[in-house]
Structure 1
Amino acid sequence: MDAENGEGQVQVHLKTKQEHYAVPDVPYAIDGTMTTVELNTFLNALLRNKSGEESSIDFDFLVFDEYLRGRLCDHLKEKAISFEDAIEIEYVERFPAPEPQDCLLHDDWVSAVKVSDKWILTGCYDNTLNIWTHKGKHILTIPGHTAPIKAVDWISLDNGIGRFVSSSQDQTVMLWQWNVDSNAVECVSICKGHERGVDSISVSPDATRFATGSWDTMLKVWSAAEDDAGGDAASSKKSKENGVRTPIMTLQGHRESISAVQWIDTSTLLTTSWDHTMKIWDLSLEGIKTEISTNKSIFDASYSNLNRLIVTASADKNLRLYDPRTNQGSIVRNTYLGHNAWVQTVMWSTTEEFLFVSGAYDNQNKLWDCRSPKAPLYDLLGHGEKVLDIDWSNPKYICSGGADNTVRVFKSRKAGIETMEDK
Structure 2
Amino acid sequence: MNGEGEDASKVIHVKFLTKLDYPFKVPVTSVVIPSSVTRLGLSSIVNSLLTLEKPEPFDFLIDGELIRMSLEQFLNAKGISAERTLEIEYIRAVAPRKEEKPSLHDDWVSAVDGSFPRFVLTGCYDGLGRIWSSPGSCTHILEGHTGAISSIAFANSEGAEGVTVATASRDRTLRLFKVDPAESGDSTTRVGAYKILCGHKASVASVAAQKYGSKVCSGSWDCTINVWDTNESTSELSVPGKKRKGNNQAEEPQLEGEVETTLVGHTQCVSSVVWPEHDVIYSCSWDHSVRRWDVETGKDSLNLYSGKALNTVDVGGEGSALVAAGGSDPILRVWDPRKPGTSAPVFQFASHSSWISACKWHTSSWFHLLSASYDGKIMLWDLRTAWPLSIIETHKDKVLCADWWKGDSVVSGGADSNLRISSGISIS
Indicate the TM-score class for this superposition, using the shorter chain for normalisation: 0.7 to 0.9
Give the Å deviation of 1:13. 4.7
Q: Which residue of 1 aligns with 2:362?
A: 349
Distance change (3 Å), C-alpha of 1:393 and 1:221: farther
Distance 2:160 2:17 in 1: 48
User: Is the counterpart of residue 31 in structure 1 residue 34 in structure 2?
Assistant: yes
Query: What value does the CA root-mean-square deviation take over the aligned residues?
Result: 3.1
Identical counterparts, % of pairs: 29
Q: 1:47–1:55: 8 Å Cα contact kept in structure 2?
A: no
User: Is the counterpart of residue 107 in structure 1 residue 106 in structure 2?
Assistant: yes
Q: Which runs of 5+ in 2 are unaligned?
A: 241-252
Distance change (3 Å), C-alpha of 1:117 and 1:17: closer
User: Is the counterpart of residue 192 in structure 1 residue 198 in structure 2?
Assistant: yes
Question: Residue deviations 1:93-135, cap 9 Å, x none?
Answer: 2235241112111111110112333223221112222233223
Give the Å deviation of 1:165. 0.8
Greater relative contact order structure (CA < 8 Å, 6+ sep): 2
Q: Secondary structure at the match of 1:263?
A: strand
Q: Which residue of 1 aligns with 2:290?
A: 278
Q: Which residue of 2 aligns with 1:149?
A: 149
Distance change (3 Å), C-alpha of 1:112 and 1:256: same
Q: Which residue of 2 aligns with 1:170?
A: 171
Q: Which runs of 5+ in 1 are unaligned?
A: 230-235, 417-423
Q: Secondary structure at the match of 2:76?
A: helix
Q: Which residue of 2 aligns with 1:340?
A: 353
User: Is the counterpart of residue 121 in structure 1 residue 121 in structure 2?
Assistant: yes
User: Is the counterpart of residue 40 in structure 1 residue 40 in structure 2?
Assistant: no
Q: 1:239–1:245: 8 Å Cα contact kept in structure 2?
A: no
Give the Å deviation of 1:59. 1.9
Q: 1:132–1:139: 8 Å Cα contact kept in structure 2?
A: yes
Q: 1:264–1:305: 8 Å Cα contact kept in structure 2?
A: no
Distance 2:209 2:200 in 1: 17
User: Is the counterpart of residue 90 in structure 1 residue 89 in structure 2?
Assistant: yes
2:299 to 270, 287, 301: 287
Distance change (3 Å), C-alpha of 1:87 and 1:293: farther
Distance 1:399 1:56 in 2: 26
- TM-score (ref. length: structure 2): 0.84
Distance 1:141 1:271 in 2: 29
Give the Å deviation of 1:294. 1.6
Q: What letter corresponds to residue 335 of structure 1 in structure 2? A: Q
1:222 to 210, 225, 228: 228
Give the Å deviation of 1:143. 2.9
Distance change (3 Å), C-alpha of 1:409 and 1:393: closer
Q: Which residue of 2 aligns with 1:379?
A: 391
Distance 1:296 1:16 in 2: 41
Q: 2:360–2:403: 8 Å Cα contact kept in structure 1?
A: yes
Give the Å deviation of 1:83. 4.8
User: Is the counterpart of residue 250 in structure 1 residue 262 in structure 2?
Assistant: yes
- TM-score (ref. length: structure 1): 0.84
Q: Which residue of 1 aligns with 2:402?
A: 390
User: Is the counterpart of residue 261 in structure 1 residue 262 in structure 2?
Assistant: no
Q: What letter corresponds to residue 141 of structure 1 in structure 2? A: I
Q: 1:298–1:312: 8 Å Cα contact kept in structure 2?
A: yes
Give the Å deviation of 1:385. 1.0
Question: Residue deviations 1:238-267, cap 9 Å, x none?
Answer: 879972211111111212111211112111
Q: Which residue of 2 aligns with 1:405?
A: 417
Q: 1:178–1:186: 8 Å Cα contact kept in structure 2?
A: no
Distance 1:30 1:160 in 2: 57
Q: Which residue of 1 aligns with 2:20?
A: 18
Give the Å deviation of 1:410. 1.9
Give the Å deviation of 1:343. 1.3
Q: More deviation in 115-124 or 147-156?
A: 115-124
Question: Residue deviations 1:257-302, cap 9 Å, x none?
Answer: 1121111211111111111111111223321122212222221122
Give the Å deviation of 1:391. 1.8
Distance change (3 Å), C-alpha of 1:261 and 1:6: farther
Q: What letter corresponds to residue 333 of structure 2 in structure 1? A: R
Distance 2:59 2:254 in 1: 58
Question: Residue deviations 1:35-58, cap 9 Å, x none?
Answer: 11222233344556xxxx879443
Distance change (3 Å), C-alpha of 1:71 and 1:292: same
Distance change (3 Å), C-alpha of 1:329 and 1:65: farther
Q: 2:360–2:404: 8 Å Cα contact kept in structure 1?
A: yes
Q: 1:178–1:185: 8 Å Cα contact kept in structure 2?
A: yes
Q: Which residue of 1 aligns with 2:78?
A: 79
Q: What letter corresponds to residue 227 of structure 1 in structure 2? A: S
Question: Residue deviations 1:140-197, cap 9 Å, x none?
Answer: 4333111111001112398873321100111111111234427352211111111111
